Amino acid sequence: MRYLPLNPKLFENNRSRFIKKMKKNSIAVIHAHDQLSENGDAIISYKPNSDVVWLSGVVQEKTMVILYPDNIDKNFREVLVVLRPNEILEKWEGHKLSKAEATKISGIKTVIYLDQLDALLQSWMHHAEYVYVDTNENDRLSSEVPRTDLDYVRTLMHKYPVHKYERAALLFKELRAIKNKYEIEVMQQAVDITHKAFLRVCKFLKPGVWEHEVEAEITHEFMRNRATRHAYGCILASGDRARILHYVENNQECKAGELILMDFGAEYGNYCSDLSRTIPVSGKFTKRQKEVYDACLHVHRYANKIMRPGKTWLQITDMAEKEMEKQLVKIGLISKTDLKNQDPNNKAVRKYFYHGLGHHIGLDVHDIGTRNEKIKEGMVFTIEPGIYIEEEQIGIRIENDYVVGKTKNRDLFKGIPITTAEIEAAMKRK
């Protein structure tokens, strides 16, 4: 791993919170998948199971966390399962964790090898009544690809068919949505790296530069600052391409007079950041570009102001859309008549703001959480309103990451240029 060691208290805290939610005499079996193949004998870059990372901090394939707080043997109430180091395998794939190294990362004292698990698990399962199993449940997930997490659950249920099985995903959705202070510290490091990359791009960008060259500058800054990877596919959309929400080709020239919409974020210690800024290729906004940008920024700041504990994300989104309506009227994109005659199922605002207001963020860039339950202190959301104008070939999105506070939210990207004046100042070359 590139990143510096994280505080094991992060994972100890998470395990403690999870255990408190478990039923009496229950065991949780949380497992990570194996490496996945690409083409030929190539292996896809490994992205570990976020639930395993949340509980242990270990990113090695086939790792498992077993939690059995009512185990008669106190030594096996928290167990970390890792691959047994193999001298021949390590010559090909590199170092595998020793037991001592795994304990140092996770804070779990009892570490066993995967080839020892079956015999021990059989005894624990025979004494446990409930079994928490882990499946990758996310409201945005829809895939026909066979899933290894479901395969493991089926195997476990086939071997132990009369136990009472529980969905660990329900607990993870509740607990992972609220970040502890150690998690916020790591997320701030990811944000700080992203901040550095943005400032680098501001100095680099000029007419004639290509989108993929901008991506190279971002990647360079990420890697030199120990980022794990890009948190998601880097979006660098100049000109009319900025209206394509998930444009990732990044293969066109940035031209004078255009805006470039940049949506990127570093991942550090397996935690994500997510930034969007729209900046002028020539270093200065036109009067119209500034007008549209300021309207989008107004909605961004309004959404942060109303994002308070006790409201739901759907309520905040609805309020932000109404504020966006006012701004779109102000800059001449829609009229009051359009609003009066609009179809409730196809609102006028949706012609120019056609995606969500934001999302949970954490170990996953679209982190698990819910949009229809009340927001709580300690949750972390992105706020990313956008205005997309086909007839003017303009796309503007502004996004920061916020920790929900009791009376005021914490902007993790505080200090990064966000107004048109701040962006123009950051783009001035010596």
The answer to whether position 43 is within a domain reads yes
> Are 368 and 394 found together in one domain?
yes
Long-range (24+ apart) CB contacts under 8 A made by 202-207 are: 202/279, 202/417, 202/423, 202/426, 202/427, 203/426, 203/427, 203/429, 205/254, 205/260, 205/279, 205/281, 205/283, 205/427, 206/254, 206/281, 206/282, 206/283, 207/254, 207/255, 207/256, 207/281, 207/282
Q: Give the predicted TM-score (pTM) of the model.
A: 0.94
Total of domains in the chain: 2
Any domain includes 226? yes
Specify the pLDDT at position 137: 81
| Confidence (pLDDT) at 224 | 97
Q: Where residue 191 sits, what CATH number does that domain have?
A: 3.90.230.10
Return the pLDDT at 430: 55
Q: Of the residues 117, 145, 176, which one is the last residue of a structural domain?
A: 176
Convert the pLDDT of each residue in 51-68 to its tens digit: 999 999 999 999 999 999
Quote the domain boundaries for residue 78.
Answer: 9-176
Residues 157 and 199 placed together within one structural domain of the fold: no
268 part of a folded domain:
yes
Residue 2 belongs to a domain: no
> Phi/psi at 184 (nearest 5 deg)?
-60, -40
Domain end call among 126, 146, 176: 176
- How does residue 94 score in pLDDT terms, banded at 50, 70 and 90? confident
Is pLDDT at 146 greater than 70 in this prediction? no
- Indicate if 20 and 149 belong to the same structural domain: yes
Residue 3 lies in a domain: no
3 and 269 in contact (C-beta within 8 Å)?
yes
As given in the structure block, the two tokens for residue 321 are 């859309």
Q: Same domain for 274 and 130?
A: no
pLDDT in tens, 1-48: 789 999 999 999 999 999 999 999 999 999 987 777 778 777 777 788
